[in-house]
Chain A
Amino acid sequence: MDKKEMICIVCPVGCHMEVVKDGTSEDGYKVSGNQCLRGKVYGIKEMSNPTRVLTTTVKITEGKLPRLPVTTKGAIPKGLMTEAMEAINKVEVKAPVKVGKVILKNLLNTGVDVVATRSMDRDSRYQSQKVS
């Protein structure tokens, strides 16, 4: 593919961009329509190696809710979504959890960790079992 029209999804502004293969340019592509540098980087990446941040939940026990939201700490290849979901779904954590805690290290050898996106205290129902 030498040319692609796309909507930038780096931020919610959603610039309408055109990415054209261009051997003379340093990056190999010419990007137009973007309003910032991140748009250019994204446009080239969408053409060469599209990636996505994956957000989902894992099972948590002894928290006030049964699910803990998590995210990949960085983008992973778009083609790995299904496999990544399978790997993350095998994880189970126990409250309390602090936001940012690594839930799964080096997801599918991508070098990207999966981290908690909220803190969750241990629910009062389980407080009696707490070792003080």
Chain B
Amino acid sequence: MLNYEIVVIGGGPAGLAAAIEAKKNGAKEILVLERDLELGGILQQCIHNGFGLHVFKEELTGPEYAERFIQELKDMGIEYKLDTMVLEVSDEKMITAMNREEGILNIRAKAVILSMGCRERTRGAIRIPGTRPAGVMTAGTAQRFVNMEGYMTGKRVLILGSGDIGLIMARRLTLEGAEVLGVSELMPFSGGLNRNIVQCLEDFDIPLYLQHTVVDIEGKDRVEAVTIAKVDERYKPIKGTEKRFECDTLLLSVGLIPENELSKSAGIELDNITAGPRVNEAMETSVEGIFACGNVVHVHDLVDWVTEESRKAGKNAARYVSGELKNTASKISVQGVNGVRYVVPQEIRPENLRGKTEFMMRVDAVYQNVKLVAKSGEEILKSVKRRHVAPGEMENLVLDFGEMDPKSIKNLTIELVQEEGA
């Protein structure tokens, strides 16, 4: 039996930031468990730039961003185990893990930080008709093949889904000599960041087919052709609008799902919308002493926000271990309404709020000239203007509870209000 104050599950950007921050806040025995052969998580395959503008005030590539945290973690002497798979986490904070050198490991932790990230939705998750040849893969799989393992994934490529990884891979494969025939998006707008639409599609004249989906895949051993069709407002394909592309590869960039098998094994309550653990202002889950951060909680579009959220989790895990974090009976729910799909954290304990608290949220559609309005009961706490909001761009709102009497805070809602005369 091994004993640690804090065990961090997952050594990607969330786990690294959480472990470092926990150490900075006084936690001594910290262990990071990582299943891959190196730390850094998905950042190691995200070789494009655009990371770190908020955290480091400079533009870094994924591996550079990861390396700074890995170096800091090592410099601080934080322990980690690579090539180690966590099999189970119990609600008593007992962790079962295994690796080739040590076999089965039983670890007891005072606090656990869940930072397992997310995984990509696959063909099976969206039920695409057609044959089942090789050449249909997720965009992230292709990214790892091309950027880390040195395999080219195809010569003529069609991409389904305009999420960021799909857009990034459209550019990457084009630069590597493949012909990217187009990107098909089910929704009337792209789910990716604007910068990626501009830099990855427009720069290379790759067409974006909005309101289109794949209706057929042909090929026996390898993909030979993919057919897309326009969809109606109920997302049903419209007959007669089919376009057939001869290609050898179909990449899927159709969403990410927080990876919560371990959260479930610990009996943690999950949110229906985010598919991640419901958390409070301390990034603590429904099980006391188990914290969660990063893409396992909700899918972020910027790693900088993952870092910020994870620092919060790490700091609070350290406070929990030292007995500073108050678990109080009064809990207040935070809800997204009228156009706000979800808000993280989903719950706050007013007694633990110290001054400014950040809320992260996503809207349900593209809106122009709106206000994000936060209310405590009927009282408006804050209202901020937004010229443009979209589901692909996470919004945040900082509320200052510094002056407020904790007892006066009622159930919080955050909503969108259309600006008058806009």
Q: Contact residues of A with B, CB < 8 Å?
A: 6-9, 11-12, 14, 16, 52-57, 59, 64-67, 69, 71, 78, 81, 85, 99, 117-119
Contacts and interface: CB of A to CB of B under 8 A. Distances in A.
5 contacts: A11-B59, A16-B388, A57-B150, A67-B147, A117-B64
A53 B49 contact: yes
Interface in B350-370: none
B63 A12 contact: no
Interface string B374-389: 0000000000000110
Residue of A8, A71, A78 with highest tally of chain B CB at under 10 A: A71
A99 B199 CA distance: 25
Contact of A85 (B38, B62, B175, B195): B175
Given A81-B175, A118-B44, A14 B61 contact: no
A35 B393 CA distance: 16
Interface of B: 37-38, 44, 47-50, 53, 59-64, 66-67, 146-150, 175-176, 193-195, 197-199, 203, 301-302, 387-388, 393
Nearest to A78: B203
Given A7-B195, A14-B193, A117 B149 contact: no
A78 to B, nearest CB: 7
Nearest to B51: A12
Contacts of B203: 52, 78
A69 B144 CA distance: 12
Nearest to A81: B175
Given A56-B176, A118-B67, 16 more contacts: A12-B50, A12-B195, A12-B393, A14-B194, A53-B59, A64-B37, A65-B150, A66-B150, A69-B47, A69-B63, A71-B49, A81-B175, A85-B176, A117-B47, A117-B60, A118-B63
B194 A55 contact: no
Contacts of B61: 55, 69, 71, 117
Nearest to B53: A11
Contact of A99 (B62, B64, B393): B64
Contacts of A99: 63-64, 67
Residue of A12, A78, A99, A119 with highest tally of chain B CB at under 10 A: A12
Contacts of A117: 47, 60-61, 63-64
Contacts of A8: 195
A12 B301 contact: yes
A117 to B, nearest CB: 4
B55 to A, nearest CB: 12
Contacts of A59: 150
Given A14-B194, A81-B175, A9 B199 contact: yes
Contacts of A55: 47-49, 61
